[in-house]
Every structure is written in structure tokens, then in C-alpha cells.
Amino acid sequence: MAGRSGAGRISDEDIALVRERSPIADVVGEHIQLRNAGGGNLKGLCPFHDEKSPSFNVTPARGYYYCFGCAEGGDVITFVRKIENLTFSEAVERLAQRAGIQLRYEEGGYVPGREQGERVRLIEAHRAAAEFYAEQLATPDAAPGRRFLSERGFERVDAERFGVGYAPAGWEALSRHLMARGFTSQELIKGGLVREGRRGPIDRFRGRLVWPIRDITGDVIGFGARKLLDSDDGPKYLNTPESPIYHKSSVLYGVDLAKREIARRSQAVIVEGYTDVMACHLAGVPTAVATCGTSFGEEHIKVLRRLLLDQAEFRGEVIFTFDGDSAGQKAALRAFQDEQKFVTQTFVAVQPDGLDPCDLRLKHGDAAVRDLIASREPLFAFAIRSVISRYDLTTNEGRLGALDAAAPVIASIKDPGLRKTYVVDLDRWLGFMDEGFVIQRVQQAIGQGGPGGQGGQGGDRGRNGHQDQPGPYGRQQGSQQYGRRQGRPYGGPDEGRYGGPAQGRATAQEPREKADPVAMLEAEALKLAVQRPALLGPEFDALGGEAFTRPEHAALYGVIVAVGGTVAGGPGGQEWVERLLAAAGDELRPALTRFAVEEPRVETGGEERYAAAVLARLLETAVGRSVAQIKSRLQRLNPVEEQQEYNRLFGELVALEQQRRVLRERAAGA
């Protein structure tokens, strides 16, 4: 498949080169954490749908990915297209830029800078702007910016590490610089770097200290700018507006620097500002990130879950840092509402004297920042303590009011064991010394809409991977939300979210093979044909489409035969898979991609015996169907009146039974 761009068609040779020099594990690994899944496969949480357990598989040897939860799959170009919402040509250009490949365009030749896609152009403009701002930080006019950094404990090398720069106070300094580099005013306006003035485009940031905001891959997609001068009548912080490449609800400042440590330590620290991220990283907390001009929300959670490989177990941790004032407590309580969208543990770290990480480092040193993070408190406990702190606990009325205010918070905890533990803690904190009384008030809250629902029976099972019921925030964590049950990679007969019978459309996630041993056997044969064709050879090619009971399997078999059969596939690999994908229609490509990624059920080293057994069993089942058909016909014949036909069919039956016995023995001995 060739791509078409503004100046012409990207050559097929260059597209192939981009695929070759863009290892899929590296590209996918820039967006999600991948772990070894055995058999040469890697696994992580899918970036295309919410899930509790990882079902997103990458097979580096064949260059493909496939999600068994939502049936998304393809090669490295497909992944970049979907993850960044690009056209085919833009995705090729994006990968080519990453790999340092200069693309050639047919039907008009190569014209640098003219034929690139919109995203690539905006990324390049932001990269050039970041370089411009960084250079300006050394100029005399940037003295207020350097003083601001110095007063907060940052040196020149620190500014360089984080790319901090300075936006000149002039109206057109950046716009003139970028337009001289070949960027149009329309591109700069669309990217949010400049805005339309009365006499033409003017710089969005002027006379401010500037932080480049990068996406998870390290590309600059926006900026955050801090006011320096009293004469500046704008807000204290000014951020890039929404643009085709910048969406603040899903951007975390510092994630490009923190992602590897977040994955390695299974920890993410959420701070409130750019200088807080800098302070944490410099103080030895390299997992710190911050939101960009917006509150922490669901899209941010998705980004972190993919980096944490957030599974149904209390292994990792997310730590929120907030100021100790009332605004900080409100922020923590807002975070509590999103807490159970994580599977991992969540904590709050609050400095008693109200210092943020930047001021804490400046006043007490690096160790104080590390101690702040180490002294974290579970978010549930912090939320409950924050509620009861509003009441006078020296009076009965105050303690009862605190109990009734805290009961809904505890009721909203999905895990019943954790909920009971906090009931005990609340009883102790309030001093009732009557656990039953506290339980009763919490159960009343549950009956009014808490997770137990249904008369307060507490029938939910919590974050440890079991069923959950809707809580007071309307969230449901069970298999119906995530479309997949743990340990059931093929789906089940009652799951129709991703295109099962409920929607009348089959996907690779919904074949129900586990409920149909014959279909599962067919799938194993097709996996071998796609991944290791040399193990099957002419015998597979001679099976015929009638050997497959499922229409989709028969159609895939037809594709394999159409390109020359498994004898033409040799050892397999990416080239063989690409030939099959090119021959398959759109309806079959998802299933074909799945069979290229999902490992056969054989252990390494036993492939030949396993392939022989699969072929023998597949032939045996086909022969078995023929036996059943002949027996059915014999039952309808009169052996006296139709003796000749009866004897002929009986002879066929004897031969088929013998053939089936041989195949059964062959399968058992393989």
C-alpha cells in the first residue's frame, strides 16, 4: 500500500524501509509499558480501550500487534495511524522522521517541507519554537526569567535539561523567526504558537518564561508560559490552546522524561506545576508529572495506567501531592472521585506547612522532597480524615455529624475488605468504640446508593479483578465495562460488546473457540499456517475449504491457498504475513492479524510434532463429519430394495472409519 501526500505518492520502497527501520516494540513501547508474555510476544494495557488486565499483544518477529479485548490490530504504521489519528501518509512521514529517513515522492518529486502532513508540520514548528525560546533565555532581555529560575533553586544546566526558554517581549519575534524558516502564518495560528492580531499574526507568548510541553514520545506539542513582569496583565500561567496536536485533557508535563521510571518503579507522582516536576526530578523523584492548565482527569488516568501496566492487583502506586490549604484538600477530594478508576494503590502526600515540592526543595533540600513522597498517606484515609476534620469531635453532635459525613465516602469504596477496614479506622478516629454502630451508618449509606446497593448486602467484589457494582459516581468495573473477563482471551458466550451476536458482527475477539473445540482446532491450524507455514506444507494445502466448519476460517484458508499455499510461505515472517494481508479483504484482515500475533499452544521445541498432531486431528474431524453423513444416508436407505447403493456407501463407511482410526493414532503419537 502506497501513501499519497501533498506533492505526490510515497514510493513503495520507502514505505518498506520505514517499516523495516521502525521496530514495532520500540514504537509501541513509547506509548505503553510492554512486558514479556512468552513465545516471543510482548503484552501491555491496550491504548485503544479501557481494560483491567493486559490483552494487547505485540509480536516483534512478525512486526504486528493485536488486542484480544477490542480486536484492534495491524503493523507499526497502523498503530501510529490509530494512536495519533493520522492518515496513512502522515503516519509514514511520522515514522520516517523518527528513523531519519528522507522520503521520496513520485508524481512530482521531493520538495522538502511542502508535502508533509499537517501533524508533521506542526510538530516541526513547535520543535523550532522550542529551540528559539531556549536560545533566547541567554539574552539580556531574559534576565527576569533567569532570576526567577535561580530564586527557585534551578541552575542553567537544569533549564537546559527541561528545555526551559524565554519568549521575547516583542509582538512578532517568534512569528518572524518561524515564517523565515518556511512555516506559514496559518500553520502557526493553527498550532497555537501565534494568534491573529489586527495587523497580522502576533506571538501568543511575550515576555514570559516558557516550558516546552512534550507528548509521551518526546515531541514538543505545546508550551506553558509564566508571567514575569508586573506590567503583564495576563494570567499567571498561560498555556497553548487546544490544537490538532495538543489536547490538554490527555497531556502530562514531564511524562516523556518520567515514563521509563514510572514503568520501572511502578510509581507515578502527580504534582501541580512545571517547577514542581523539575524539583522532584532533580531531588531524586523521577516519576513526577503534572497536568497542563487543567485538573487531573480520566484521560490522564488512561495514560498512567498504560505506563504502570495497571493490573488487578495492588502492586503499583499513584501519589498525589497537594498544598495543605483548603484548596489542596478540595483537589484531593476531587482525585478521590477518580481513585477507583485505577486498579493500583493511590496515595496523597501533603506537606504540613503547605510548601509545594519546589519550595520544599528550596527551603529544606532534596531529601525533604523524597521524604514528602515517602510519607504518603492512602487517598481513602486522607479523604475520610479531611471530611471529619470539619467537625468538632469533642462533642457528641460533632462526632455523629462527622460519622454521617464520612459514611458515604466509605460506602463508595468498592472493595468490601478495604471498606470494612476503614469502618474500623473511622470508629477509632471518632472514638465511638462501637464498631457495630458505625457499620450500621455505613450500610445505610450503601443502601442509599453505595456500592453494595441492593439493600446494603455488599455483594460487590473489589479491585482485585472480580465483579464490581455501580458506586455513587456511576462507575462499573465489571466485565461488561471492559468487555473482557480475566483468563478468557477469546470472550464468552454472553459477551457481545465488541461485535458478538448482540451486534451481529463477528470479530477476532469473539470467535467462541473455547466453547467449540473444533473451531479452536481450526484456529490453531490457521495460526501455524500464518506464523510457521513450513511446518504444515502440502498436506495443509490439500485439505480443502470444506475441512473448516467456520465460514471465516474457510475464507482465511482460501486466502492462504490463493497466494500459493503454505509451501510458498517458507519459514514465515513479516513478508509472508504482508502477502496474506494484501490478498485478504477488509473483513478478514482483523482475524488474519490476530492469527499472526497469537501464539500457538505449543511449547518451543515441539513445533513439528504439534503441527503434525493438529493436521491429523483436523483431518480426523473432517473424516468424522463424512462418517456421520454416510451413516445418516444409510439409515434412510432400504438395504434390500437399494442394495447396490447401500453396499457402496457401507464400503465407503468402512474405509472412512479405518482412515479416522489411523488419523487418531497419528495424532496421539505425534
- pLDDT tens-digit series, residues 20-70: 899 999 999 988 889 888 778 898 989 888 877 788 999 898 889 988 888
Give the list of residues 6+ apart from residue 665 with CB closer than 8 angstroms, or none. Answer: none
The pLDDT of residue 284 is above 90: yes
pLDDT band at 650 (very low <50, low <70, confident <90, very high): confident
Q: 349 pairs with which residues across the strands?
A: 321
Q: What is the 3-state composition of the chain as percent helix, strand, coil, each rounded to the nearest 5?
A: 50, 10, 40
pLDDT band at 324 (very low <50, low <70, confident <90, very high): low
pLDDT band at 283 (very low <50, low <70, confident <90, very high): very high
Give the pLDDT score at 186. Answer: 94
The pLDDT of residue 418 is above 60: yes
The pLDDT of residue 416 is above 70: yes
Distance CA 614, CA 601 (A): 11
Give the pLDDT score at 329. Answer: 60
* The C-alpha cell that represents 102 in the structure block: 528522507
pLDDT band at 513 (very low <50, low <70, confident <90, very high): low
Give the pLDDT score at 206. Answer: 95
- 605 vs 124, which has greater pLDDT? 124
User: Could you read off the pLDDT of 419-440 as tens digits, one per residue?
Assistant: 889 999 999 899 888 888 888 8
Reduce the DSSP state of residue 516 to 3 states and report it: coil
Place of cell 493520522: 86
Q: How far is CA 533 from CA 39, 320, 508, 520, 580, in A?
A: 17, 52, 21, 18, 12
Q: 214 pairs with which residues across the strands?
A: 220
- How do strand 220-227 and strand 41-44 relate by DSSP bridges? unpaired
* The C-alpha cell that represents 584 in the structure block: 485478504
CB-CB contact of 536 with 522 (8 Å): no
| Average pLDDT estimate for 291-314 | 78
CB-CB contact of 33 with 73 (8 Å): no
Distance CA 633, CA 625 (A): 13
pLDDT band at 626 (very low <50, low <70, confident <90, very high): confident
- 666 vs 223, which has greater pLDDT? 223
* The C-alpha cell that represents 535 in the structure block: 511446518
Nearest CA-CA partner of 134 in 168, 89, 97, 90? 168
The pLDDT of residue 309 is above 80: no
Distance CA 272, CA 276 (A): 7
Distance CA 380, CA 301 (A): 17
Nearest CA-CA partner of 538 in 570, 566, 571, 580? 566
Give the list of residues 6+ apart from residue 603 with CB closer than 8 angstroms, or none. Answer: none
pLDDT band at 342 (very low <50, low <70, confident <90, very high): low
Q: 44 pairs with which residues across the strands?
A: 56
Give the pLDDT score at 471. Answer: 33
- How do strand 377-378 and strand 317-322 relate by DSSP bridges? unpaired
CB-CB contact of 69 with 483 (8 Å): yes
- 483 vs 402, which has greater pLDDT? 402
Give the pLDDT score at 465. Answer: 37
Nearest CA-CA partner of 471 in 348, 341, 346, 347? 341
Write out the DSSP string of 500-512. Answer: STTTT---TT---
User: Could you read off the pLDDT of 544-589 as tens digits, one per residue?
Assistant: 888 888 889 989 989 998 888 888 887 888 888 888 988 888 888 8
Nearest CA-CA partner of 72 in 589, 601, 599? 589
User: Could you read off the pLDDT of 57-95 as tens digits, one per residue?
Assistant: 998 988 899 888 888 888 999 999 888 878 888 888 889
- How do strand 41-44 and strand 35-38 relate by DSSP bridges? antiparallel
Give the pLDDT score at 402. Answer: 92
- The chain-wide mean pLDDT, for the chain, equals 81
CB-CB contact of 623 with 617 (8 Å): no
CB-CB contact of 333 with 386 (8 Å): yes
Q: Return the axis-axis angle of helices 118-136 and 173-180, rounded to nearest 10°.
A: 130
User: Could you read off the pLDDT of 108-153 as tens digits, one per residue?
Assistant: 544 444 445 788 899 999 999 999 999 999 999 999 999 999 999 9
Q: Which of 23-37, 183-197, 483-497, 542-556 has the lowest mean pLDDT?
A: 483-497
Distance CA 17, CA 205 (A): 40
CB-CB contact of 388 with 405 (8 Å): yes
